[in-house]
Structure 1
Amino acid sequence: MKKVQNIILFLSILLLIGLAYISFFNVYQTDDYFWSYTTRKVGLLQSFIDTYTNWGGRYFGYSINMFNPVFYDSNHILPKIYPVFLMFSFIGVSALNFKEYFSYSPKESLKKGFLLFFFYTVLLVSLPEHYFWITGSNIYFVPVILSGILLYFFKKYQDRKQKIWFYLSALLIIILMGSNEILALILEGLLLVNYYQKRDKENLLLVLLGTIFLLVCFLAPGNFNRMGEVERGMVKWLKRIALFGADTIYVGLKVIAVLPLFIKVFEEELKRITAQITLKKAVLFWSVSLIPLLFTSYILTSIARQFESTLFYFLLTFSLLLYFKFEKIKKFWWVSLLIVFLPELKIFPEKYSYFNIDFNGENIVMELLSTDLKEYEREMDERIDIIKNSSQDSVTVHKIKEVPRILYIDEMASVKEQETYVNDQLQKYFNKKYIRTKE
């Protein structure tokens, strides 16, 4: 086990170094300009009101995006350091929990944090949107880190019964319910399971608090304003059933592919947990992962960046189930390790490309070997300079030629195409009537 752990630790460190190097060439993108524009135009309070009533109920995630500093950050420093800061935060918070729950030394806890980071990264549906797109990170990656802090606070309260830890836990529950819907549903399910396990006043208060702010998020007028027209009757329900099946199969296949390696690496922790709980309890905690899958199929959403939390939670809980009954699957750890570095399995058309199984390893390696990241950064900076310094209301710029694999980029529409949200956001931010790319 130690040998395998050392292999994954080495790969984790290489992975972090590679992602940190790639991050050095990251730039502001799309919604980064939009949030900065709306905040400057109408102020924080009105921006929050407009967003909640017209866009969506993620009251915490959208609020922190309103502080996007692109207007003041002329050297584009934040996109280069923020992803690395969040990655180290994930590792640090994970280490904190390993120390708290398993009484490891700081060195051993940090090692476990790196190992968990490896598995989190290979499971991501979209590396660009999760790690390198600032507004995307605030919606999907920051809440995962905050969830780890909540886990730490909750353990402190369980052990010490000091009210401060309860209040901090309650505060984080309020924050997380307004971060993104998928993680909010997972958290709500866990709060209900926790209350079912131990029905005391404190756990009931946490459930009620979570439910109230979950409704604040879900019942936002903006959620309903953004809903488009869909088919009615049986067709709609058949689509929902099909999506539930497709999403569940994707999550299951991707997780199962890395489970032998995960169980081998975290064998000691799984052994200690299974000695303390029953299989029935493990099934109960795992079943929470079905709630977001049901929800996303109900609103007709297929696999996309919002599934990251579901995948990670599914991995953690399903590994526990398999350890109860199929512990020997760990001997196939080497198969999982090979799979991680396979190229993306491209069998679906572009419209459904997220269903192509990809473990990100090959993408990161090829980004480092084949992409001229410095040229990409130069092209993007040159584009912004042209738009910003132009005295004309109409501006055309060259298309980006050096397109990276994992740095987030969503190209603008050209002069012969219909305007997209990217054009609209840049036009508003730079106070232009027309911005397009040349053919």
Structure 2
Amino acid sequence: MKKVQNIVLFLSILIGVGLAYISFFNVYQTDDYFWSYTTRKAGLLQSFIDTYTTWGGRYFGYSINMFNPVFYDSNTILPKIYPVFLLLSFIGISALNFKEYFNYSLKESLKKGFLLFFFYTVLLVSLPEHYFWITGSNVYFVPVILSGILLYFFKKYQDTKQKIWFYLSVLFIIILMGSNEILALILEGLLLVSYYQKRNKESLFLVLLGTVFLLACFLAPGNFNRMGEVERGIVKWLKRIALFGADTFYVGLKVIAVLPLFIKVFEEELKKITAQITLKKAVLFWSVSLIPLLFTSYILTSIARQFESILFYFLLTFSLLVYFKFEKIKKFWWISLFIIFLPELKIFPEKYDYFNIDFNGENIMMELVTTDLKEYEREMNERVDIIKNSPQDSVVVDKIKEIPRILYFDEMASEKEQETYVNDQLQKYFNKKYIRTKE
């Protein structure tokens, strides 16, 4: 076990260093400009109201984005340091929980934090949007880190019964319910399971609190405003059923591929947990992952960045079930390790390419080896300078030639193409009537 842990630890540190290096060439993108524009134009309060009523109910995730400093950060410092800060925060919070729940030393806890970071990274559906897009990180990655803090508060309250930890838990539940819908559903499911197991006033209060703020997130006028027309009747329900099956198959397959390695690496922790809970309880916790899968299928959402919380939670809970009955699967850890560094499995046509499975390992290596990141940064900075300093209302710029694989990038439409949201956001931010790329 130690040998395998050391291999994964080495790979995790390499990936972390590689991602930190890539981050030094990161720049602001798309929605970063949008949030800065709306906040400066309408102010924080009005921007919050407009977002909640016309865009969506992520009252915390969207509120963080309103503070995007692109207007003041002329040297693009934040995009370079923010991803590294979040990566270290994830590892640090994970280590804190390992220390609290398993009584490990600081050194051992940090080691476990790095190991968990490895699995979190390889499971990501869209690593660029999750790590390197500030707007996306605030909605999808920051809540995962905050969930780790909430887990720590829960443990401290259970151990000490000091009310301060309970009040902090209440605060973070409110925050997380407004971060993103998927994580909110997982949290609500866990609160329900907690109340089912321990029916006291505090558990009931947390369930009711979570439900109130979950509804505040889901029933936001902006969510209904963004819903498009869908087929009615049997066709709609057939699509929902098919999508639930496809999404669940994708999640299950991706998790199962890394499961032998995960069980081998975290064998000690799984053994301790399974000694304290029953298989029935483990099934109950795992079943919570089906709630967001049912929800995303109902609203006809297929595999995308929203599924990353589901994948991570599915891995953590499903590994318990497998360890109960099929512990020997850990013998195949080397197969998982081999699969992780394979190129993206491109089976589906472009229309459904989001179902192609990728574990990010090969992409990270190729980004470091083949992409001229310095040239990409230069091209992006040059584009911004041209648009910002042009006295004309209409600006046409060169297309970006050095396209990254890991850094988040979405090209705008050209002169002969229909305007996209990227063009629209840049036009608003730079106060231009027309911004396009050359053909």
For the residue of structure 2 that corresponds to 1:154, the secondary structure is helix
TM-score, normalisation: structure 2: 1.00
Q: Distance in 2 between matches of 1:250 and 1:219?
A: 29
Superposition deviation, residue 353 in structure 1: 1.4
Number of paired residues?
439
Deviations 1:257-304 (Å, cap 9, x if unpaired)? Answer: 000000000000000000000000000000000000000000000000
Superposition deviation, residue 351 in structure 1: 2.2
Q: Distance in 2 between matches of 1:355 and 1:400?
A: 27
Q: Distance in 1 between matches of 2:352 and 2:292?
A: 20
Deviations 1:323-363 (Å, cap 9, x if unpaired)? Answer: 00000000000000000000000111222211000000000
Q: Distance in 2 between matches of 1:336 and 1:347?
A: 20
RMSD between superposed Cα atoms in Å: 0.4
Superposition deviation, residue 38 in structure 1: 0.1
Superposition deviation, residue 225 in structure 1: 0.2
Superposition deviation, residue 180 in structure 1: 0.1
Deviations 1:179-234 (Å, cap 9, x if unpaired)? Answer: 00000000000000000010011111100000000000000000000001111111
Deviations 1:366-400 (Å, cap 9, x if unpaired)? Answer: 00000000000000000000000000000000000
Q: Distance in 2 between matches of 1:74 and 1:276?
A: 54
Q: Distance in 2 between matches of 1:17 and 1:101?
A: 28
Q: Distance in 1 between matches of 2:235 and 2:2?
A: 53
Q: Which residue is equivalent to 1:193? A: 193
For the residue of structure 2 that corresponds to 1:435, the secondary structure is strand
For the residue of structure 2 that corresponds to 1:396, the secondary structure is strand
For the residue of structure 1 that corresponds to 2:144, the secondary structure is helix
Tell me, which stretches of 5 or more residues in structure 2 are unaligned? none
Q: Distance in 1 between matches of 2:436 and 2:294?
A: 40
Q: Distance in 2 between matches of 1:158 and 1:36?
A: 41
Q: Distance in 1 between matches of 2:350 and 2:438?
A: 24
Q: Which residue is equivalent to 1:295? A: 295
Q: Which residue is equivalent to 1:350? A: 350
Q: Distance in 1 between matches of 2:417 and 2:232?
A: 32
Q: Distance in 1 between matches of 2:267 and 2:412?
A: 48
For the residue of structure 2 that corresponds to 1:158, the secondary structure is helix
For the residue of structure 1 that corresponds to 2:319, the secondary structure is helix
Q: Distance in 1 between matches of 2:354 and 2:275?
A: 38
Q: Distance in 2 between matches of 1:379 and 1:427?
A: 19
Superposition deviation, residue 308 in structure 1: 0.3
Q: Distance in 1 between matches of 2:73 and 2:289?
A: 39
Moved more, 15-24 or 350-359: 350-359
Q: Distance in 1 between matches of 2:170 and 2:207?
A: 10
For the residue of structure 1 that corresponds to 2:385, the secondary structure is helix
Q: Which residue is equivalent to 1:178? A: 178
For the residue of structure 2 that corresponds to 1:141, the secondary structure is helix
Deviations 1:225-262 (Å, cap 9, x if unpaired)? Answer: 00011111111000000100000000000000000000
Identity %: 90
For the residue of structure 2 that corresponds to 1:147, the secondary structure is helix
